[in-house]
Amino acid sequence: MIMAVINATPDSFHPQSRVKNLDELEKIAQKCMDLGVRIVDLGAHSTRPGYVSINAEEQINRLDPCIDLIKRKFPELYISIDTSLPEVAQYALSKGADLINDVEGGRNHPKIYEVCAQFNAPYVLVHSRGPSNNLHEPTEYKEITSEVILELSIQLHRIKAAGVKDIIVDLGFGFSKSIEENFQLVRDISMFELLGFPLLYGFSRKSMIHKKLNTSVEKSLNGTTILNTYAILKNATFLRVHDLDAANEILELLKIE
C-alpha cells in the first residue's frame, strides 16, 4: 500500500509535500482517492536535517483542521499521524486518526505505546537514534544490519508489552546513518523479514539518494522510484512517498494491488 506524505508544516524538506491551506489539502486527498491511495501520513513537525522541535500544542493546532477535513470529506482515507509526542497521539486518535507513525520509535517518549494501546491503534516503529532535538546526530555502527535488527527487536518487545497489537516496522533510512550505512541496509533488506512484521519503506527524495547521485532533492525522483521498486520486489508492505503518480505506476507495472 502507498502512504502519502502530507506536511502541515512550513519547513519540511520537500516543498511539494507542504499544505499551506485546507484547499491544498483537499486537492491532495482527492488525488489519493482518484489513485486508490488509502493512507495519508499527516505531519506537523519536520525532521529534516537542522530541524527545530515543535511542541505538542503547536503540532495539535496544525493537525486539527487537517484531521477534521479528511474525516468529513474523505472518510475512506486512513489517517496516519507522524509524531513522537504522546499528547499529540492522544489528541489525534481521539479525533479519529487511525495510526501513529513515530520516527523516534518511542525511545524518548515511551508513553506513546500506552496511548496506541488505549485506542487499539496500529503503531509504526521507526528505527532511529539520538535525542528528540537531534535525530541526525552522528552515530557509530560496528555492523549496522545486526545492530538495527537488535535495536528494533528490543523496541518491539516493549511495544507489545504495552498492549499494542498491530505494529509496522520502518528501518529509518536517513536517521543517524551514513550514506554507506543506508545502502548497506538496502542490500540487506531481506533480513528484516525475520522480525515478522509488515515493513514500511520511506526512501522518498531523502539525502541518501541525492547525495549518492550528486544531485538535488528536486532531481531525486528517479532514484526514489528505483529504490521503491526494489523494496516492493523484496516484499515491502508499505511505501511512504511524496510522489503519488510515480509510486502508483510501480504498482501498475508490477501488477501489485
Which tens digits make up the pLDDT trace of 96-117?
999 999 999 999 999 999 999 9
Q: How confident is the model at residue 13 (pLDDT cuts 50, 70, 90)?
A: very low
Q: Are 17 and 5 in contact (CB under 8 A)?
A: yes
Does the pLDDT value for residue 177 go beyond 90? Answer: yes
Q: Break the chain down into helix, strand, coil percent, rounded to 5.
A: 45, 15, 40
How far is it, in rounded angstroms, from Cα 107 to Cα 194? Answer: 22
How large is the average pLDDT for residues 177-202? Answer: 96
Does the pLDDT value for residue 173 go beyond 50? Answer: yes
How far is it, in rounded angstroms, from Cα 71 to Cα 69? Answer: 6
Q: What is the torsional sign of CA 183, 17, 7, 72? A: negative
User: What digits encode the pLDDT tens for the residues 128-151?
Assistant: 998 888 888 878 999 999 999 999
Does the pLDDT value for residue 247 go beyond 60? Answer: yes
How large is the average pLDDT for residues 9-17? Answer: 56
Q: How confident is the model at residue 15 (pLDDT cuts 50, 70, 90)?
A: low
How large is the average pLDDT for residues 21-39? Answer: 95
Does the pLDDT value for residue 204 go beyond 80? Answer: yes
Does the pLDDT value for residue 256 go beyond 90? Answer: no
The pLDDT score that the predictor gives to residue 132 is 85
How far is it, in rounded angstroms, from Cα 242 to Cα 174? Answer: 16
Q: How many CB atoms lie within 10 A of CB 133?
A: 10
User: What digits encode the pLDDT tens for the residues 220-231?
Assistant: 999 999 999 999
Q: How many CB atoms lie within 10 A of CB 37?
A: 22
Q: Are 41 and 5 in contact (CB under 8 A)?
A: yes
Mean pLDDT across the chain: 92
User: What domains are there in the chain, each with its CATH number?
Assistant: 2-254 (3.20.20.20)
- Pick from 144, 225, 139, 229: nearest CA to 192: 144
Residue with the three cell numbers 555502527: 141
